[in-house]
Amino acid sequence: MLWAPAAAPPTGTSHTPIREARTAMPRRRRLVPVSEDIVEQLAALARRSGLTIPELADTILGQAVRVLRSRDDVAGVLADAVVLADIARLGGSPVPLEALGRLLEAVGEDAYRGFVDEAAGLARLVAVSARARGVDPLHGLSVVVRTFYPGAAVDLVEEGDGWHRLVVASPLLRGRLLGLVERSLVSVVEGFGGEIAEKEAEEGLVALRFRVRQQRLLPFLRRRGGAGGSGG
C-alpha cells in the first residue's frame, strides 16, 4: 500500500516520498519518490472515487503491473488506454467484419447511407478527442482502426518526408462494407489532423497515403518519441 507521509520531502528535491508497504509478514516498506503534482492529482482522484490515496495508488499500480506482465511498452499501453476509453465513452463498439458486412447488405440504401454517415462521424470524433488528449496521431490511428475493424490486417508504413501509407486488408472488404471502411478511414485520418494525398479502394483492400502535422504529445509519449508503424 502507498501513502504520502506528512513529513517534508528531502532537502533539494521536489518529490514527496511515498511509502510502500507489503501485506506479507514481515512487512517491508520502501520509499518511492513521487512528484508533488502527482500526489495532488492522486488526492483529487481519490476524493472523487471515494478511496484513500493509498487505496487508489495500490489499485492503479496493481492494474498496471498485471497489464505490463504481457507488454513492456508502457507508453503504448497508456496511449491505448486513452484511445479505447474515448471509443467506449463516445459509443463505439467493435463488430466482427463478417457480421457487419451481412448487416450492411441486408438494409435499404437510405439506412446504409445513414449508417455510413454515423460511423464516419463517430470515427472522426474519436480521433479528434484522442488527438486533443495528446495521443500521437500515428499510434492512435492504428488503435482506432484495429478496434473498429477487428480481424482486418492493419499496416502503417513510413514513406519519408512525413508521409505514411495506411493499409487495411481483409478478404471480407467488398461491396457496402468496403465503402464503409473507406469512408471511416478517411474520417479517422482527417480527425487526427491528416492530409490525404492518395486514396485506393478495391476488393479486399483500402489504402490511404497521408501526412499529419506535428503536435504536442503527452509526457509519456514525448519520452518514448512517438509511435511508429503498426501491424495488425
Once rounded to an integer, what is the mean pLDDT over residues 216-230?
44
Do 47 and 84 reside in the same domain of the chain? Answer: no
* Cell numbers at 124, concatenated: 472522426
Does position 232 have pLDDT exceeding 90, yes or no?
no
Do 95 and 42 reside in the same domain of the chain? Answer: no
Of residues 159 and 80, which shows the higher confidence score?
A: 159
Range of the domain at 211: 74-224
Of residues 149 and 4, which shows the higher confidence score?
A: 149
Does position 219 have pLDDT exceeding 60, yes or no?
no
Residue with cell 495488425: 232
- Prediction pTM value: 0.63
Do 62 and 116 reside in the same domain of the chain? Answer: no
Q: What is the pLDDT of residue 42?
A: 86
Once rounded to an integer, what is the mean pLDDT over residues 157-177?
95
* Cell numbers at 75, concatenated: 507508453
Do 124 and 199 reside in the same domain of the chain? Answer: yes
- Asked whether residue 232 is domain-assigned, the answer is no
Query: For all residues of the chain together, what is the average pLDDT?
Result: 79
Nearest 10 degrees: Cα torsion 65, 66, 68, 71? 170
Q: Is the peptide bond before 171 cis (omega within 30 degrees of 0)?
A: no
